């Protein structure tokens, strides 16, 4: 039996090496059009920034090492031009010799990934993506030229997603002045607006010129004109504006493409042709929340699906689990992570949801070095299922997002987070871990022990007649307050009930906890009261976005 794999790196090489472990006799041929078949593409930005100093550390395997250990026939510099699905052959161009050949297969695995959304160059300005070893070599050469020239070197990064942010950080590390432009109203669009305020502030604190709701209008003779009329003269451009599935081979082979534009596959990654499989960034996944098709471009999924395809080809039944879209990025000293859907997605899909914001510390506050986190949990109000989560902070973000991802995968409800038994010592967490705290809030809302409104709902509530009560200390109130809030500290609340007006009340503190206590006091004294979710800190972050959010469904 002969299996041909088109494309290496995560999905293709995972399929090839796993298949060899399962089948020693099979002939396995890998065609890779580039010079490198196995490299750490997630580490590329950090080589640009000098965090990873040894270029060879990025090159995980070579054709020779793969042949020695796995008896794989790996051919770099070989581009598959055409798939004849009926004949079960591929036409291959050898870039070194210029000759083409026809290669037969019993099973074919497409692992060709995705390509940059905007691959066109810009006249007079070197432009590169940041996806391959060749890209970082080219950017490295540009950096050396820019650093050796007169004046302060500068770069324009297009796109504020995960790759764009990593590119920005590492260019700054090299002493480059960076302008970051983002088409939408805020960077890192998988997160909601109020959650990225801290991240944008972190970028600006390191000298990054962050510009949102702006795109390139024209580029001519080394001058970039943005659509807001502003002019830039960068030494080079890094295009991180996104990717699209590479589907040309699939299309010409007659394979079915899905509604997202990616290659349609079944739960075993089999395409519409029973002898052709597909994995990686160019393939549609099943969204864990909607059950519909989605494009999720994550290295972990590519590796996992490459492995599962090998199992299927070897005769071992294997099915993909739906994709959660778990992701994380670190920009200077700030970490942002997410799993599942954002509030924006839920509103767009008109799906009912409940929102919870908390601002816990990474570990016990009495132990030195505790760092604040901002956490957001999205919950189905009927089933109490976790629909999504976002965390921004420093230490401990990775641990908590992974716990939440496992909770979603395991079907643990939002309230069930309160009952998780998590590792605790003062330097690692709190006796009430931040994940547990999310569960306590979720349970209070589920059971009706408290009611809450969101930061973007406050204006309408006040306009409808509600009175806002700030239950923080007088000093906190004086340092910054929501307009027209009446300040009555929570510790004085019982003795000052007579000062409260008739009608509905909205209470708030700094992060929500004292607000919950105040709401419980007032509710038991007969007041109509809700707590402002996430307190003043969440409201301030939301107000800073200057983007009015939908009030929900």
Residues with active-site annotation: 42
Residue 160: φ, ψ to 5°: -105, 35
**Of 512, 515, 518, which Cα lies nearest the Cα of 538?**
512
Distance separating alpha carbons of residues 201 and 197, to the nearest angstrom? 6
Distance separating alpha carbons of residues 202 and 383, to the nearest angstrom? 37
DSSP 322: P
Structure tokens that stand for 390 in this block: 């976002």
90 DSSP β-pair partners: 83, 103
CB-based burial of residue 22 (10 Å sphere; 0-12 exposed, 13-18 middle, 19+ buried)?
Answer: middle
Q: Are 378 and 343 in contact (CB under 8 A)?
A: yes
**Of 438, 455, 451, which Cα lies nearest the Cα of 518?**
451
Distance separating alpha carbons of residues 458 and 539, to the nearest angstrom? 9
Structure tokens that stand for 65 in this block: 């090492």
Count of C-beta atoms within a 10 Å radius of residue 491: 12
**Of 551, 467, 471, which Cα lies nearest the Cα of 516?**
471
Structure tokens that stand for 488 in this block: 């009555």
Instruction: Report the Cα–Cα distance between both ends of the chain, in Å, rounded.
Output: 55
530 DSSP β-pair partners: 506
Count of C-beta atoms within a 10 Å radius of residue 546: 9
Distance separating alpha carbons of residues 93 and 462, to the nearest angstrom? 68
Give the up-direction half-sphere exposure of residue 172: CA atoms within 13 A in the CB hemisphere: 20
Q: Are 378 and 386 in contact (CB under 8 A)?
A: yes
* Helix pair angle (63-70, 9-22), 10° resolution: 20
Alpha-carbon Rg for the chain in angstroms = 27
DSSP 235: S
Give the up-direction half-sphere exposure of residue 140: CA atoms within 13 A in the CB hemisphere: 16
Sorted by sequence, the CB contacts under 8 Å of residue 68 that are 6+ apart come out as: none
Stated as kind and residue range, the H or E segment containing 539 is: helix 535-545
Structure tokens that stand for 244 in this block: 């699209």
3 DSSP β-pair partners: 28, 107
**Of 320, 318, 316, 313, which Cα lies nearest the Cα of 19?**
313
376 DSSP β-pair partners: 357, 390
Residue 508: φ, ψ to 5°: -155, 155
Could you tell me whether strands 223-226 and 231-232 are parallel, antiparallel, or unpaired per DSSP bridges? antiparallel
């Amino acid at each position: 039996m002969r299996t041909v794999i088109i494309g290496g790196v995560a999905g293709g090489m995972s399929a090839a090496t796993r298949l060899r472990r399962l089948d020693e006799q099979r002939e396995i041929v890998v065609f890779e059009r580039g010079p490198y078949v196995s490299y750490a593409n997630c580490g590329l930005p950090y080589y640009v920034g000098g965090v990873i100093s040894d270029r060879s550390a990025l090159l995980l395997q070579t054709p020779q090492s793969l042949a020695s250990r796995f008896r794989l026939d790996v051919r770099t510099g070989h581009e598959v031009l055409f798939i004849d699905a009926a004949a079960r052959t591929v036409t291959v161009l050898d870039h070194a010799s210029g000759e083409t050949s026809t290669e037969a297969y019993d099973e074919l695995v497409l692992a060709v990934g995705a390509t940059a959304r905007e691959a066109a160059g810009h006249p007079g300005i070197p432009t590169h993506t940041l996806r391959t070893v060749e890209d970082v070599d080219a950017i490295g050469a540009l950096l050396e030229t820019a650093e050796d020239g007169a004046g302060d070197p500068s770069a324009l990064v297009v796109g504020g997603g995960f790759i764009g942010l990593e590119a920005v950080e590492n260019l700054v590390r090299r002493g480059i002045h960076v302008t970051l432009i983002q088409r939408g109203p805020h960077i890192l669009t998988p997160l909601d607006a109020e959650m990225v305020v801290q991240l944008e502030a972190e970028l600006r604190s390191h000298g990054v010129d962050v510009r949102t709701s702006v795109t390139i209008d024209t580029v001519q003779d080394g001058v970039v004109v943005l659509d807001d009329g502003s002019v830039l003269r960068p030494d080079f451009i890094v295009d991180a504006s996104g990717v699209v599935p590479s589907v040309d081979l699939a299309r010409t082979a007659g394979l079915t493409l899905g509604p997202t534009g990616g290659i349609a596959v079944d739960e075993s990654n089999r395409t519409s042709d029973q002898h052709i499989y597909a994995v990686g960034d160019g393939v549609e996944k099943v969204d864990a929340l909607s059950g519909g098709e989605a494009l999720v471009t994550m290295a972990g999924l590519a590796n996992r699906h490459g492995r599962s395809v090998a199992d299927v080809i070897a005769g071992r039944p294997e099915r993909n689990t739906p994709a959660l879209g778990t992701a994380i990025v670190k920009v200077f000293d700030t970490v942002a992570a997410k799993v599942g859907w954002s509030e924006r997605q839920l509103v767009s899909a008109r799906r009912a949801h409940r929102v919870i914001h908390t601002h816990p510390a990474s570990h016990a506050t009495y132990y030195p070095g505790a760092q604040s986190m901002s956490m957001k949990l999205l919950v189905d109000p009927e089933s109490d299922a976790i629909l999504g989560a976002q965390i921004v902070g420093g230490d401990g973000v990775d641990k908590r997002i992974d716990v939440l991802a496992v909770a979603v995968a395991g079907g643990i409800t939002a309230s069930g987070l309160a009952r998780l038994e998590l590792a605790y010592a003062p330097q690692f967490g709190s006796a009430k871990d931040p994940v547990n705290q999310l569960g306590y809030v979720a349970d209070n809302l589920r059971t009706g022990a408290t009611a809450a409104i969101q930061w973007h709902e406050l204006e309408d509530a006040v306009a409808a007649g509600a009175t806002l009560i700030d239950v923080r200390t007088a000093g906190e109130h004086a340092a910054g307050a929501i307009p027209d809030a009446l300040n009555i500290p929570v510790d004085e609340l019982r003795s000052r009930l007579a000062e409260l007006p008739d009608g509905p009340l909205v209470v708030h503190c700094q992060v929500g906890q004292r607000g919950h206590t105040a709401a419980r006091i007032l509710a038991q004294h007969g007041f109509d009261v809700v707590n402002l979710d996430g307190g003043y800190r969440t409201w301030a972050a939301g107000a800073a976005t200057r983007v009015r959010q939908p009030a929900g469904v």
